[in-house]
Every structure is written in structure tokens, then in C-alpha cells.
Chains A and B, each alone.
Chain A
Amino acid sequence: MIADLSALWAAVPQVLEGLGITVLLTVCGAILAFAIAVALGLLARSRAVLVRGLARVVIEFFRGTSLVVQLFLFFFVLPQIGLSMPPIVAGVIALGLNYGAYGAEVVRGSIAAVPTGQWEASTALSLSPVHRMRRIIIPQAWALMIPSLNNLLIQLLKGTAIVGFITLFDLTVALDKLRIATDVFFAYGVGLLLYFVLAYILTLGMNALEVRAKHRLGQGESLREALSFRSPVPEDGVAQGRAAT
């Protein structure tokens, strides 16, 4: 199966380097996406029509155009109008904006899903809107949004596979080197497996966060009790479908 052991040995560092870039893009992209999701999600709920409208426009723009187009926008177009950046920055920004826009819908929807009684009790106690959001609503919305955010995170990971188009040396590009050193089945088999393991690890992490969040709300088991592989897909296929656009 493996033609040349020394070629394989030479290829391993490259695979690791590619893996490193993929992980870096995923982590940085996810952090940026989350920040954007919360910001846009909250702005989309604003009572000021202009603010809400602007947030909507940004959200629909990044949801409606393709990730690849956005990547090229940051890598090819911005430099031509004077704003250049290293490819890795372009990658992180494009991933962050694209998945942040999808995340904004998740954040907005989860906040809206917190029971009305919680808003009303906060009013009855004269809590200020900022205080209410920070201490009452968001802690409860957080537990609700984790499954959908998990899905987006996995999609983000898969989305990193195209950064080869903007000259970044990620895992997918490294697989090509590995293929040449060994063979197609081995190289891509290993590659798919690596991505799968990464997705699995991310899902475990998100599941742990969800268990902890629910425990804080007094629902459900503690983290210790819940360490098992749970499918990253939420029960609601419709919501998942909606989140995909």
C-alpha cells in the first residue's frame, strides 16, 4: 500500500504543518465568528430601525454570498483598493464573517426563545434592560444556542478546506503532498480521518459546554455524568436546514 517509506516519513511534517494551519484557522475563525454573531445578533434585536436594518443587511449579505467569494474578496479585491493583508488574516476574517452571520441568527433566535416570563419577572423587579440581558436572559439563551453553534463550528472546520485557493498550506493541501508520497487511498483516508477526529473533538467540547450550561440552569446532569459521544446534529432538522442558509 505504501510505496516508499522514506517519502512517507518526509511527508509527515508537512501534514502536521497543514494540520496546524487548519486548527489555527478553525480556532481563530470560531472566536471571531462568535464575537460577530453576538454583536450582530444583539444589534438585530435593536428597537432602532436603522440599527436593526443595518445588522440585517450585513447578516443577509454574508449569508447570501458564497464563502469562496468572500474569501476572494478579502484576498484579491481589498488589496486592489489599498487594503492588503496576509492570506491567513484574509482566511480568518472571511470565515469569521461568514459563520458569524449565520451565528447571528442562532443568537437572535435563542434570545427570543427564552420564556417571556423571565422578561416579565425582570421588569417586575425593575431590572434595567442591560442588567436583564446580562444576568438573566443571556445565561439562559446560551444553553439554548450551543447545539446550533456546534453545527456551525463543524461547518467552519469544513470550510477551512478551501483556503488552499488563497495559497494557504492547510491540511487539505498537505494531503496532496501525502498522496504523491504514498497513494490516494492512504492519503485521503488519513485526511478524512483527521478531519473527522477534529470534528469529534470539537463536538465533545461543545457537548461538555452544553452539559455545564444546562447544569447551571438546574436542568440535567453534571459534566461528569455525561461524557459520551453525542451526534452533533440537533433534533430539529428544520432548524438545522434554516441555519445552513
Chain B
Amino acid sequence: MPSPRETDPATPAIRFAGVEKRFGDNVVLQGLDFEVARGDRVTLIGPSGSGKTTILRLVMTLEEANDGYIFIDGEPLTHTEVDGERVQLKEHHRNEMRKRIGMVFQQFNLFPNMTVMENLIEAPVHVLGMSKADAIERGRELLDRVGLVGKEDAHPSSLSGGQQQRVAIARALAMDPEILLLDEVTSALDPEIVEDVLAILRDVARTTDITMLIVTHEMQFARDVSNRVMMFDGGRVLEEGDPETIFTSPREERTRAFLSAVLGT
């Protein structure tokens, strides 16, 4: 388990300060500042290309910001300022920070050369140093939680999309992360199966205090689970607030236009 930290509960779990991210000439995020408090469930909404997924990928260190700083529990994630200069932190530090963060992907990304159980215990055993027996027990608990008891020896290729995504959620939870990133986790699933997966995520939100950063098109789910919604456009936070306010009476015209296009209202 990540080492317990004496963090002041007021310290935000995630803080972006002046973050800029470019892909070639395309500036996706610019001067981005926002905070996510511990235990928050924040949904990021907005048109594609607005930078929502990029934010998740930056937190997960799958991408690196071109400028600005990201803080996890008050500690810098990849870069820090030394004598006015932006300096990259050592590999070791980034690896330690990364252990507190987990992610579930749109395409599941289960390891095809391993069984379900092997997928679940791989990281806990080799990264967290858990004993194999403990990891297997935890794996079984999680499989039970996501409703896939009895599938531990199955290969990912023999599972349906929804089942694979549930294993992916269990795999991320097996690392006991403080922050869970959900990147359009139901977008690649058949509509009938979407609800099964969302039910599990609702359960996770209800029974734990993991900080969650969610990118989704499932607006009802966003309303149920989040305590904050942030509308992104052009790499900036256009507006934010609690779900009820944002969904029923948004302040910005752009937000209204986006919501009516997505929700068909």
C-alpha cells in the first residue's frame, strides 16, 4: 500500500497550476488552473478536443506537460520549480507518485497473455511487494465486488467487453489508489452492458473515498456520482459547479449548447 502520509485534509488531491500542453502546433491546454479536493468525484465534460482526456493522461503521466506544474496531495508530480526554473524530478520520485494513481481505459487494455487473476495480481505483487497469497485473496474479493466470481482463470479474450472492463476496474482497484481516473470507460461497450459497469462504479463511489476524475458521455451517471462538474472548452475550464446547477441551469451559452447537443434536450 502507498505509504500513509500525514496530509492535511485540506490539501487538494490534484492541483493544476498554469499547465500547458501542446501536440506539435496544436495547443490543447493553456494556463490551466484547477483543484480537486480529496474524496471529490469530478466529471469533466466538453466537446472532443477540449482537453479532458489530456488532463487525465497528464495526471497518469502518460503525457508530460510542456509548462506548468501538477501537484498530487501537495507534492509535485513530474516537475518542480528550482530557483525560478522548471526542473524535471527524478524518475524514482515520479514512480512513487504514480503508485497513488490508477486508471481505467476506454479500450480496457487487459494483458492478453495472462488470465484474469494474473492480470489482477501482477502489479500488487511486483510493484507493491504484496505476497502472492495476499494478492490472490484481494483479487478474489475484487472479482466478487465486480460480479465476476469464477472467472479468475479465464483469458481476457474469452470475456465480453463489459466483463473485460469490470476486470479492468478490479485491476485498478487492486493497487488501492488514492486517485482513480476513468477515461470514457463505457464508450466502447454495447448500450445494454453500460449500466452493469456504471453500477459497479457507483458502488465504488459509495463505499470508498477514492478521489475520482471522470470523463464520460453518460450524463445520468455523472449526475449520480459526481459532486462537481467541470465544463471544458478549448483547453480551459469554461464553468464548474455541482451537477444539478450545471445540468439544469448552466451559466454559459456554450455549456447549454453542448448539453443540449449531447442530451438532446
B112 touches A218 (CB 8 A): yes
> Which A residues from 206 to 245 make CB contacts under 8 A with B?
216-219
Q: How far is the CB of A5 from chain B (nearest CB, A)?
A: 56
Q: Is B238 an interface residue (CB 8 A)?
A: no
**Residue pair A123, B61 in contact (C-beta under 8 Å):** yes
Is A126 engaged at the interface, CB distance under 8 Å to the other chain? yes
B123 with A127: CB separation less than 8 A: yes
Q: Which 10 pairs, one residue from A and one from B, show the smallest C-beta to C-beta distance?
A: A218-B157, A121-B109, A218-B155, A125-B123, A117-B109, A124-B103, A139-B113, A217-B112, A126-B98, A126-B99
Beta-carbon contact of A140 and B105 below 8 Å: no
A218-B156 contact, Cβ under 8 Å, with A123-B62, A127-B126: yes
- Whether, in the assembled complex, A120 has its beta carbon less than 8 Å from a beta carbon of chain B, the answer is yes
Which residues in A have their C-beta under 8 angstroms from that of B175? 125-126
Question: Of residues 45 to 97 in B, which have CB atoms within 8 Å of A's CB atoms?
Answer: 60-62, 95
Give CA–CA (A139, B122) in the complex, Å. Answer: 15
Residues of chain A with a CB closer than 8 A to B15's CB: none
Chain A residues, Cβ within 8 Å of B127: 125-128
Query: In the complex, are the beta carbons of B109 and A118 less than 8 A apart?
Result: yes
Complex Cα spacing A115 to B113, Å: 13
Q: A217-B157, A218-B157, A218-B158 are in contact. Are A126 and B123 (CB under 8 A)?
A: yes
Within 8 A of A (CB), among B160-201: 171-172, 175
Contacts of B157 in A (CB 8 A): 217-219
- A sample of 8 inter-chain contacts (CB < 8 A) reads A123-B62, A124-B172, A126-B99, A131-B126, A139-B113, A218-B155, A218-B158, A219-B157
- B98 proximity list for chain A (CB < 8 A): 123, 126
Give the interface residue-count category, chain A: 20 to 34
- B122 touching A125 by the CB < 8 A rule? yes
CB contacts under 8 Å to B, within A116-161, are 117-118, 120-121, 123-128, 131, 135-136, 139-140
Report if B221 contacts A (CB, 8 A): no
Report which of A118, A120, A135, A218 forms a contact with B122, defined as CB distance below 8 A: A135
Bound CA span A216–B171, Å: 20
B-chain residues with CB within 8 Å of residue A126 when the two chains form the complex: 95, 98-99, 123, 127, 175
The docked-state distance in angstroms from the alpha carbon of A217 to that of B155 is 8
Q: Decide: A140 and B122 in contact? CB cutoff 8 A.
A: no
**Is the Cβ of A127 less than 8 Å from the Cβ of B122?**
yes
Closest to B2 in A: A126
The residue in B61, B102, B109 that gathers the most chain A C-beta atoms within 10 A of its C-beta is: B109
Contacts A117-B108, A128-B127 aside, 14 further interface pairs with beta carbons under 8 A come to A117-B105, A118-B111, A120-B62, A123-B98, A124-B101, A124-B103, A125-B172, A127-B122, A128-B95, A135-B122, A217-B157, A218-B113, A218-B157, A219-B112
Residue B110 CB within 8 A of the other chain: yes
- Is B107 engaged at the interface, CB distance under 8 Å to the other chain? yes
**A228 and B218 alpha carbons, distance in the complex (Å):** 49
Give the residues in chain B near A131, CB-CB below 8 Å: 126
